[in-house]
Every structure is written in C-alpha cells, then in structure tokens.
Amino acid sequence: MEINLAVLIDGDNITSAYVKEMMEEIAKYGNPTIKRIYGDWTQPHLAKWKKVLLENAINPIQQYGYTQGKNATDSAMIIDAMDILYSDKVDGFCLVSSDSDFTRLATRLREAGKNVIGIGEKKTPEPFIVACDKFIYIEILKNKSKQDNISKEKNTKNDVDKITPKVIALIASTISDVADEDGWAFLGDVGSLLQKKQPNFDSRNYGFQKLTPMINSINQFEIESRDNQKGRLKLIYVKNKE
C-alpha cells in the first residue's frame, strides 16, 4: 500500500536550489499527493522559486507579512497542516524548514498517528529534529553529481574521521538492543531503531550512501551476509566485536 504524503515547504526558510533533490528524496518515502509552499510572493527573494514550482507541480500559497517582525508564513503553514490532518487524506507529512517554530506542529501530527519527515539545514534546532520521525539534512541531498566526482578513497578517509566515539557507541548499543543470543542483529532492525533513537541519523551525513558500508568502515563491528530464503537479496547481520 502506497503512503500518501503532504509536503509543506517554508519558502522563507529554504532556497529553491534544493528542490529537485528534495523531491526525489521525498518520493522514497511515499507519494507526495499534496505539495504546497508558503511565502509572500510579492517579495523579490522568492522570484527564483517560480520556475521550479512549475517543474515540480508545487502549489504556491500567498501569505502577506501583515506585521513587521512576525512570521505569517509559519502560521499559514500550521493552519493548513491541521486542515489537511482533519481531512484524513494523507498518511504522513513532510515539513520542509529549519525553523524550530514547527516543533509543536510535528509533535501534534505524530500524536494524531501521522508519520512526520523533517527536511532542513544542519543549523536546524534540536527540538524540531527530535519532534520528527525522521529528519534529513538538506545539504546531503545537494550536488550528488559533484560528490560522485570525488575519488572514493579521499571521500571515505575524510568522512570516516567524522564518525565520533559517540556515534560508534550509539550504533553499538543499538546492535545490543536487537541482537539475538549470539550477539547478531539484523541490519534492517538496527537501522530502524537508530532512526527512532536519533531522527537525524543518516549514513549519508558521514559520506556513505548506505548503513552497511558505514558500519563496515568501523573495525568495532563484524558483518555477515546470509542467504535469504524468501528472495534473491542477501540478508545483512551485524555484531559487536568482543
């Protein structure tokens, strides 16, 4: 069953340069049946959005800034999100912003049983990140083609250095949480629990497209590939080294 998503974008907070990669990423998690972006379209700084809105079928919602210093865009986006919630037309929401003002909205949507994906810059405050089921840094979606041109050896070296002892401890404890009596844990279960513990956990933050090569790069873990009785793909299991 396909999951329908409502994609709500804070146009005052996200640049148009990220749209193509962002929509490709969102499509991995469901069908974006509602796509809206909020902002005061009379303002010059939103002019670059016009072309990409047509290319991606995103509906612009006009919101004038009625009062100096007040963000009317946030209010309009929150009101629309609640209207969509009560219409019961979607299974989840994708909130695109780096603004902590949407923390309460994300929490309320999850309380209603909806899956909430957040997308924003790395400057996004922690409260908004942890209020989402999953949070994706928009920087890792940009310039994928440029990243592919970097040599794998150089890219891996630079990114492994970013894997801190804290990150390793998080992975190790998660493996222990879902491991069997022999200490082996199905990688799919590990990834799911990591996401619940830390919504912004993503192997791409460390330069790895998948969790398997990231864990394989850390010599504290063992990896084992097993035959899958129900399909052709191998099953990956991981274990903490003694």
d(CA 162, CA 234): 29
Block residue for tokens 């919504």: 199
In CATH, what number is assigned to the domain containing residue 223? 3.30.420.610
In this structure, the answer to whether residues 84 and 180 fall within a common structural domain is no
In this structure, the answer to whether residues 137 and 158 fall within a common structural domain is no
Joined tokens for residue 53 = 């809105």
- What SS3 state is found at 91? coil
In CATH, what number is assigned to the domain containing residue 137? 3.40.50.1010
Q: Output the pTM of the full model.
A: 0.83
In this structure, the answer to whether residues 213 and 102 fall within a common structural domain is no
Indicate the residue among 142, 163, 198 that finishes a domain. Answer: 142
C-alpha angle 213-215-216 in degrees, rounded to nearest 5: 60
Total number of domains constituting the chain: 2
Strand partners, 59: 36
In this structure, the answer to whether residues 154 and 120 fall within a common structural domain is no
Closest by alpha carbon to 118, among 93, 83, 90?
93
Query: Please, are residues 39 and 99 in contact by the beta-carbon 8 Å criterion?
Result: no
Query: Tens digits of per-residue pLDDT, 148-175?
Result: 444 344 444 443 447 899 999 999 999 9
Residue 73 vs residues 63, 64, 105, 200: alpha-carbon distances, Å = 6, 8, 14, 25
Query: Tens digits of per-residue pLDDT, 66-121?
Result: 544 446 678 889 999 999 999 999 999 999 999 898 999 999 999 999 999 999 99
Query: Please, are residues 215 and 166 in contact by the beta-carbon 8 Å criterion?
Result: no
Indicate the residue among 142, 174, 202 that finishes a domain. Answer: 142
Q: Which structural domain, as residue segments, surrounds residue 196?
A: 146-240
C-alpha angle 25-30-35 in degrees, rounded to nearest 5: 75
